[in-house]
Amino acid sequence: MHYHPSFHARTNPEKPAVIMSGSGEVVTYGELEAQSNRFAQLLRARGIGIGDTIALCFENHPVFFSLCWGAQRAGIVYVAISSRLAPPEVAYIARDSGSRLLVGSGTLTPLLDAVAEAAPEVPQLRLGGSGDHDLAAALGAMPIEPIADERAGCDMLYSSGTTGKPKGVRVPLPEDPAIGGANSLIMLAGGPFGIRPDAVYLSPAPLYHAAPLRWSMTIHRFGGTVVCMEKFDAEKALEAIERYKVTDSQWVPTHFVRMLKLPEEVRARYDLSSLRGAIHAAAPCPVPVKRAMIEWWGPVLNEYYAGTEGNGFTFISSPEWLARPGSVGRALLGTIRICDENGDEVPRGTEGQVFFEGGNPFAYHNDPDKTRDATNKHGWTSLGDVGWEDEDGYLFLTDRKSFMIISGGVNIYPQEIENLLITHPKVADVAVIGAPDADMGERVVAVVKPHDISEAGPELSEELTAWLAPQLSRVKLPRQIDFRAELPREPTGKLFKRLLRDEYKAAAASAA
């Protein structure tokens, strides 16, 4: 089978490939084909060839798919950058990735102007730009025919590095150069997840994240329709399911929490019977939340555990989960290996670090130390999570990457925030942790030791927040700043961060 939107453009050009749920704007497969060809032609016209890298910075916008598919069919490595990052963060990723072009949205002009100043070596094109920066004009000047040297490209998405800076997860270009070749996600989607060519897939999350981007593009490979929300809203998500007769969808637990908090009469107002599958991942889902969703939507929830790295993949259906609440399933890609601190496998039922054997290879771009740290002596790779397997091979996660915070399904790495805060003249020591949050899963909390403890209080908290705001994306800003005369540290200087996390967990539990 030919897994590519170009095939569906030939056989069914008027079928919607993308529907923006808010505006109702439609991009057909024929239009997606023409625009993606023009972008591939534009890349070649600018001397950007197979194996080169470009960056894309957009809010959820229909043109984003055309650009991704244009890069994919040109053998390009495309980096999706969050539109919510601060200018220094965007500039860092554009430079670190080696991007030869940054394509951005016209709604992000202040951000992109600041990036242009910080990274002038990375040329830009913008939707709604002017002159040499006008993306629409540049595309309009290109032919709509495919380029002569089509070859499958791939994404490179960024996660955290050992220094607190984000690091790109670099995977090789597909061995099969055919743009319509199969990959692991296609096989998984068409297998246990039951994705079919008639799929109508609701994507409520930002497209620059791994799951929304990769799953939406997989729907296009099958010839389905992606219904893309410009911004998540709990009731509007239900409305979109009813209006477009959504068959499949992708969520994080925060979406479930917000939909469950809707008044009962609102939840009952919408017909959700078209749903065949509701996929969720990205963050641990509390058992009561998932149970309530299955009671509401029926046994259509399908959960997986995986990472941007693509080194392994587990799956669990609703009936399986109801028999084993809290499990994230059995491995469909790679073999699960639970290991002790020496990298040796432990017996079933014993907690240890979760590794995968035989999954897809990957490396952290420009960070060999992080790549090495993710690999044990057997060559098995880990995302840094801790868990255990039952006798039937079902995985249960008991902890996550050592100190990573997951807020609303977004990974937040404390060291980056700590590295900034410690440079403030009034801060003597700092620890950033995730504290339980009923809505977001976790919230970012900064525990600060001021140089002068008498200054601790709301005014200093506001000063630190205002100081951080231009340097960090909003999602990373601490929602709570607490002050201590001392932070718990070993004599060697190592921070007992787990003690702080346990303290905030206990406080949340006692307040519940």
Residues of each domain in the chain carrying CATH 3.30.300.30 = 405-511
Q: Which of 129-133, 139-143, 349-353 has the lowest mean pLDDT?
A: 129-133
pLDDT band at 494 (very low <50, low <70, confident <90, very high): low
Query: What kind of fold does domain 1-12+23-180 have according to CATH?
Result: Rossmann fold (3.40.50)
Cα 442 to Cα 419: distance, rounded to the nearest angstrom: 20
pLDDT band at 400 (very low <50, low <70, confident <90, very high): low
Q: In this structure, which amino acid lies at residue 332?
A: L
Pairing of strands 16-20, 225-228: parallel
Give me the pLDDT at residue 162, please.
39
CATH 3.90.226.10 assigned to domain 182-305? The reply is no
Q: Which residue has the tokens 């941007």?
A: 308
Cα 334 to Cα 359: distance, rounded to the nearest angstrom: 4
- What average pLDDT does range 144-162 have in this prediction? 88
Q: In this structure, which amino acid lies at residue 429?
A: D
Give me the pLDDT at residue 348, please.
97
Quick one: CA torsion of 363, 368, 373, 379, rounded to 10 degrees? 60
Give me the pLDDT at residue 455, please.
95
Residue of 185, 225, 231 whose CA lies nearest to 207: 231
pLDDT band at 101 (very low <50, low <70, confident <90, very high): very high
- Ranked by mean pLDDT, the top range of 322-331, 368-377, 411-420, 427-436 is 322-331
Task: Determine the CATH number of domain 405-511.
Answer: 3.30.300.30
Residue of 19, 463, 461 whose CA lies nearest to 220: 19
What DSSP line would sit under 131-173, residue for residue? GGGBHHHHHHTS-SSPPTT-B--EE-EEEE-TTSSEEEEE-PP
Residues of each domain in the chain carrying CATH 2.30.38.10 = 325-399
Give me the pLDDT at residue 286, please.
80
Give me the pLDDT at residue 402, please.
65
What is residue 105's DSSP assignment? -
Kindly report, residue by residue over 347-378, the tens digit of the pLDDT: 999 988 999 999 999 999 999 998 999 999 99
Could you tell me the pTM of the whole model? 0.84
Give me the pLDDT at residue 192, please.
96
CB neighbours (10 Å) of residue 402? 11
pLDDT band at 35 (very low <50, low <70, confident <90, very high): very high
Kindly report, residue by residue over 313-347, the tens digit of the pLDDT: 999 999 999 999 999 999 999 999 999 989 999 99
- What average pLDDT does range 116-131 have in this prediction? 94
Q: Which of 86-95, 385-394, 406-415 has the lowest mean pLDDT?
A: 406-415
Residues of each domain in the chain carrying CATH 3.40.50.980 = 182-305
Angle value at C-alpha 232, between 226 and 237, nearest 5 degrees: 65
Q: What percent of the chain has pLDDT over 90?
A: 78
Residues of each domain in the chain carrying CATH 3.40.50.12780 = 1-12+23-180
What is residue 62's DSSP assignment? T
Kindly report, residue by residue over 271-302, the tens digit of the pLDDT: 999 999 999 997 778 888 899 999 999 999 99
Task: Determine the CATH number of domain 325-399.
Answer: 2.30.38.10
Give me the pLDDT at residue 1, please.
59
Pairing of strands 166-170, 363-364: antiparallel
What are the b/e assignments for 367-383, b being 16+ CB within 10 Å? beebbeebebeeebbbb
What is residue 100's DSSP assignment? S
- What average pLDDT does range 213-242 have in this prediction? 97
Q: Is 153 left (phi over 0), alpha (psi -120 to 50) or beta?
A: beta
